[in-house]
Amino acid sequence: MAHGVKTKLVSDIGIAITGIAGPTGGSKIKPVGTVFIAISGKTKKECKRFLFKGNRKTIKLSASNKALNMLKEFLLAEG
């Protein structure tokens, strides 16, 4: 997804978030709060899985904050 964003927007970096914010849709393998964040850059890609706690709003806010933090670290590492 992140690579698709990068390609579609003709940008140097793409970021994507997907997951299950609830309150329904979770399973034993992917419980509510499971979030994947991916970043695609010029030379590398990164995808991480997280499990956030809380209600739907809290999970979405936590995922957004983590994505921005990951993007900052990714940009610093790429130079």
Give the chain's domains with CATH numbers: 2-78 (3.90.950.20)
The Cα 36–Cα 70 span in angstroms is 12
- Provide the 8-state DSSP code for 73: H
Q: Tokens 């130079």 — which residue?
A: 79
The Cα 55–Cα 15 span in angstroms is 23
- Of 25, 6, 43, the C-alpha closest to 35 is 25
pLDDT tens digits for range 32-65: 999 999 999 999 999 999 999 999 999 999 999 9
- Asked if the model's pLDDT at residue 79 lies above 80, the reply is no
Q: Which helix (H) or strand (E) holds 67?
A: helix 56-78
- Asked if the model's pLDDT at residue 78 lies above 90, the reply is no
